[in-house]
Structure 1
Amino acid sequence: MVDKNSIFGGMITTQGAAKKTNCDALGIPWEPRYMLIGDANGTDPVPSPSQTKLVNQVYRAQINQLRVSPTDANVLIAEVVLPPDVGGWWVRELALEDKDGVFSAVANAPPSYKPVLAQGSGRNQVVRMHIITNGTSNIQLKIDPAVVLATRQYVDEAVNGLLPANKPAGTYTKVTVNDRGVFVSGSNPTTLAGYGITDTYTKDQITAMIAQASALPVGAMIGFPVDKVAPGFLELNGSVKSVATYPDLATFLGGAFNKGDEGAGNFRLPESRGEFLRGWDHGRGVDAGRAMSSYQLDMLKSHTHEYSPMRGSGVVNSVSNKVSAQSDANADNGATTGATGGGETRPRNLAVMWCIKAWNAPINQGSIDVAALEAEVARMRSLVITTTHKRLFVSTTGASAVVALKAEKLIIGSGVAAKAVTQVDLSVNMAAAGLGGLDAGVVAASSCYGIWVATNGANTAAIAALMPVLQGAITLGSPLITDLASTASMRVGMQFSSAFFPWGVTIKSIDSASQITASYSALATVALDNLRFVYEPILPAGYVGSRFSALFTDSTASKFPLAYMQVDKWILYRPGAGTNIVNLPLLASGVQGATAQPPTFVPVAVGALVPPTASKVKFTVWGHVGNTSSIAAPNPAHYGITNVPAGASPLHISDSAAAHNAATGDITLERGYMYYASGATYSGLACNGYEDNI
C-alpha cells in the first residue's frame, strides 16, 4: 500500500542498457519512441532492470517529448499527454519502448486515476517519466513527435543562435534585429543620414542657404555712418579693381564706369564720395534724359525776386503816420540785394561712406584683408607649373593633316587660372579652322606650328598656332631688334629663335610696334635676320591654353605635318614608306669644311627642322669613311677627333679603312646652327628629332 515511505523512480532495463551500448558502439543514435502505461492490476509495483514488460499494460502512446533534464545530464525525461477521451484506469507503472520494440526503461508512479469524459470529468493529463542513465549524448531527443527529430547538440546550438550572447548592454537610438526579431546590434547615430534620412539638407548646406538668404546681393549699395568698410563690401571711390579678385561684382557692373585706362582684366568702381544719390527717372519724366549711373552737376531752379526801391524827399503825416512822397520822387530799378549763403545748394544731410557689396561672404567670416588677398592672387599667378603632363603621346602619319594627342593628365594654364584635365584624347585637323584645327588662317608649307590644348573647364580641345618667321634688324652686341613688321601678337617672355642669337632667347620687353628687346645680345650684325616666334593661339573667350607639341609641315601642295611620334617631351621623326619622310631629314651632306685638328667647320642652320622650343636635338652623323672622318659640334671651337676626351667633338666618326659608320647623340644647341665637317663624299648630318621644352 502506498504511503509516506513509498519510493518512486525509474531505470534503464537490462534490454535497454544493452541496446544503448550497442548503439554507442556503432555510433548510431538510440531512439526511444513509445511510452507504456499500466495499472499493475491494482498492486504497488517495484520496477526491476530485468523486466521485459509491465505487470498490466493499459495504454501505449507515441512520446510527445523526450529531453534531457536541465539540472542533470544523466537524467532522461519522457513525456506523453493523455487527452480527455483516454482513461478509465489507474496509472501505477510506466515504461519506454524504442523504435524497434525493445522494452528499454521502467518506472513506478504514485497511483493516479485518469477519468474519461464520459464519466463527467475529463482533463488533459501529462505523464512524465524520469530515467537515470549513464549518459544522454547519443540519445535521439524527440522534440515534436510529428515533425522534428534533433540531437541535444543541435537543440543547444539552435537556442543559442536565437539568443546570441555577448551583446553590450546599453541604451540605443537605432537597433538592428534579425528575421526573428532578436536584437543583433545597436548604435547611436549623430546625423540624420545615420538614421537613413536622406531627403533633407546637411548642416553645411543649411548654413550656406542661410548665409545666402540673409546676405545682400552683390551690387547692393549701403551707406555706413563710420569710416569702416564691412566685410564683403568695397568703398565706392572710383578705384580700379581686378576681375579675378571680384568676379561677381565685375559681372554685375560690367564696364559701366570704365574710363578706358583700367587695363586688361580690370574694372572701375563708381565714384560716390561727396555725392548725393538720386533715383533714376526710368521713364517717369521728372528727370528726363538721364542715363543710368550718369553724373549730374548741381543746379538751382530758375526763379525771380522782384522789388522797386523809391528814392526822393517827403514829409511824414502825423495823422496817418504815412510817408508822402514828393512829386519829384522816382523808382530805382535794377538794384540787387546783398549776397548770402555758401558755395553750393544742399539740404541738411549726414556724411556717410557709400559702399557696394562685392562678394557674398559666409556668416561671421571676420575681416578679410583685401590687399593681402590681391597680393596672394598675384603671387599665385606668377607660379610656374613644372610638370604639365602625364603619359603624353602625340603622333602624325605623314599622310594626312591630322595630329593625334592623348594623355592621362594635362595641366593647362598657370597660376590661379590653371586647370587639370584627365584622360585626354584629342586631335587637330590642320585643314580646319578654330578649336580642333588652326586658330587662324590656312596651313602653310614648310612652316612650324605649335600644338596647344585649350579648356574653359567644361570643354577641352586641341588647336594649332603658327610660329611665324619675321624679319628684323640686329646689331652685334645689342639686344635690340628693330624694323619688325608688327609686335601686336608678342608678349614678354615669348621664345624665339635665330641663327644669330643664343638658343633659348626670349622677349625681354616690347618697346614699340616695330621694336623689341631680347634677353640676350645678338651674335652678329644682320640687316634682315629671320626670327621664328612662338606665337600663342587665338582662343575663344573664357579659354586658357598650354602648348604640348611642335611640328613642321612638308613642302608639298598637301602641306601635311612631317611624320613624327612624341612620347612626353621627346619628338622623333618617323621615316617610312607612304609618309612624307622616306629617310631621316638631312641638314648637310658630302664633303664639308676640313676635318684636320682643329677642324674647319661649316655652319648648318637647324631652324627648318628644330622649333625654338627645343631644348636638345638628336643628330646622326653617318658616312662611308676611309682615312677620313665626319664631325658635328654645337660651336666651332671644338677640336674635332682627339685622344683627349675633354677636347673631342661630341659627335664624330672615323675609320682607317673604307667602311660605313654612323653615330647618334643628343646635342644641347648653343645657337641656331650646328657645325659640321666631313672628308667623305658619301656622308651626312641628319636630324632624328628633338626634346621639346613643354
Structure 2
Amino acid sequence: MADYYTLLTNAGIAYETACKAAGTPIKLTQISVGDGGGSVYNPAATATALKREVWRGPLNALFQDEKNPSWLLAEVTIPPDVGGWYVREAGLWTDTGILYAIVKYPESFKPVLATSGSGKEFYIRSIFETSNASLVTLLIDDTVVKATRAWVMSYLAEELGKLDGKQSVRVAATTNVVLNGAQQIDGVAVVAGDRVLLPSQTLAKDNGLWVVANGDWQRANDANTSGKVTPGVTVMVEEGTANGDSLWHLTTNAPITLGTTALTFKMLAGRTGIAAGTYKTLTVDEYGRATGGANPQTLAGFGIKDSYTKTEIEGMIANASMLPVGTIVAFPGATPPVGFLELDNSVKSAALYPDLNAYLAGKYNKGDEGAGNFRLPDGRGEFLRGWDHGRGVDVGRAIGSSQVDTLQNITGNFDGYLDITTASGAFSLNNMSISSTPLNQKNAYHGVSFDASKVARTSTETRPRNLAVMWCIKAWNAPINQGNIDIAALAVLAQQASEINQGTAKVATQTQMVEGSDDATIVTPKKLRWGVQIQKATNGYIVFPSWLGGMIIQWGTVNGTIGDQSALYPIAFPNGVFQAVVSMGDKTTGVIAGITLYATASGMTSKTTLTVRSTGTDGQGASSARYIAIGH
C-alpha cells in the first residue's frame, strides 16, 4: 500500500450499499481534518471517526476524474483564520453523519496568523475509488464553501472560451495552410505557440483558431469545442501584410459541430486593398467597407446612360446651335464674322478649311485652283433662289447653278387700219404728223408706241426692292475644327525682347537687379525703389542702392565758432568719406570776412563725425556753418 491513501470505511460501504438498493443518491456534505492524536498513523476501514478532529467544514467540490470515471475527487479549502495544528488525517462525511471515507494525509502544519505569525489558506484534495461514483452527490452550502484558485482559473478559462470575443491571433492566413510545423503566413514567420486564424482552408470544416506547433497543430483552447465556436465569434488579427490590424467574425449560423460544419470567417473591419486617396466612384461590400475605387474620365465610366456622348454633342453643335459648315448667311457689313468667308468666288486652301472643302466637294472649281485648293461660289450682286428640287417651278436646275436675269415676255397685237385719235399711259401716237384739229377718223394717227418708263421705275435689269448685303458661307466650327491657323506672325512676339527686337522678357528677381549682370530681364518699379533712402531735412542724406554704386550724399550744419568743431552725420558712412565741403555764411551777408573754414584731415577719416576748423579773430566766428559730405 502507498504511504498516503484514501479508503472507504465499512460504515461508508454499508451506506453506499443501502443507497444503491434504495435507488437514492449518496450524499456527501462535509470534510474534517485531524492531527492523528499527535502522531502519524495508518487509518483502518473500521474507523467511524478521526482520532482527533481539529476542524470540520463543507466540501468545496466533488467530481469524477476525467480519465477514470470510478475515481471521485473531493476538495476543500481551510480558511486562514483557523489553524495552529498539524493535519495528519481527513474524513468525508455523509449528510447523515457517517464517516464515508478516511484519508491518511501527509503531515502538514496549518498556521494561523494570530499565534504563528503567518496565515494561509490550506487546500486539501482527496481521491478515492468507488464502483458507484455516478450515485455520489455533493451537498454544499454555497454561502460557506470557498473555491480553489485552480478551480476558479479553470472555470474562468472555460467560460471565457464560450464567449464570442476571442483572444487575438498573430496572423490570419490568406490561403490554405498545412496544419503542421512553423511556416510563413501572410508575410509573418509563425512559430510554436502562435495563435493563427485560418479562414481559407480547402476543407472549410478546418477553418477556425489554431495554435502553431512544431508537429501537428491543435485548435486553440478557447475554440476547441463546439460550445466555444458559436455564430458571431470575433477575433482581432495583429500582424500580416494583407490582414494585419483587421477584425474577423464567424458568419456560420447554428447549429455548429466543430470539425464537421463548414465554418465561414469574414473580415469585418480592416485593410481592403484600396489605396488611401479620394475617389469619384467606390465599390462597397456588405459591411460598408470601400473595397474598390476609381476616378473615371467619361460619362460611361460613371455608368451614366441617359446622356449624349461627346461625339453626339459635337455633332449637334456643328449642325444646330452654331450653324453647320456650308450655311449661307447674309451680313449687313463689309467684314465677315469669325467662322465665315465671303462668297466672292475666291480660291481657298483645303488644309486651312477642311470642313468647308469636304462640304463643297469641288462643285464650284474651274480647274485652275491648283492642288490642295478649292473655289467658293460667287454671291456678289446675286439674289438667292430656292432649289426647285422636283417641284416643277424652276425645272432643270442643278443645285448651286446660276441664272442670268430675264423678263417674262409681254405680247399683244394690232390688226387692220387703225384710226387712233388718242393715246395715254405707256402708249403714244406716232407714224403721222397731222396738225388739223380736231382730229377725225380721216385725219387720225395710224400707229402707237409703248414705253413703260412713262408709268413705272425702269432700269437695265428686272429687280424687286432690296437691301445690299454680303453673302457669307460658314467655313468652320470654332469649338470643333478651326482649321490650321498660321501663327507665323506670333512667332516674333515669342522671342527674347531686346533693344531692337519686339518680344517677351521675364521680370528680374531682386538678386538679378542688384547684381546688374542680366540683360535679358526687366525690372519693376518696386524693385527700382529698393535700397534708395532719402531724408528730406536741414540735416539729411541720399543713399543710393548698391546696384547704383552705393554712393551716399549727406548735408547739414556745424558750429562755426573759432576753433575745431564737430557734428555727427545724420547717418554713418558704412565704408568711408570721399570729400567734405564746408562753407560759412550768415543769413544777411552770406560771407563773413576774415574767417577761414575747412574740414580737418582727421575729420575726413571719420565715418560718423565731421570735424571742421575755423580760423580768424575771436568774435568773428558765425553761429553755424554748412557742409556737404560724399562717401559710400
Question: What is the TM-score with the length of structure 2 in the denominator?
Answer: 0.33
Q: Which has the larger radius of gyration?
A: 2
* Higher helix residue share: 2
Q: Whose strand fraction is larger, Structure 1's or Structure 2's?
A: 1
Give the TM-score, by structure 1 length.
0.30
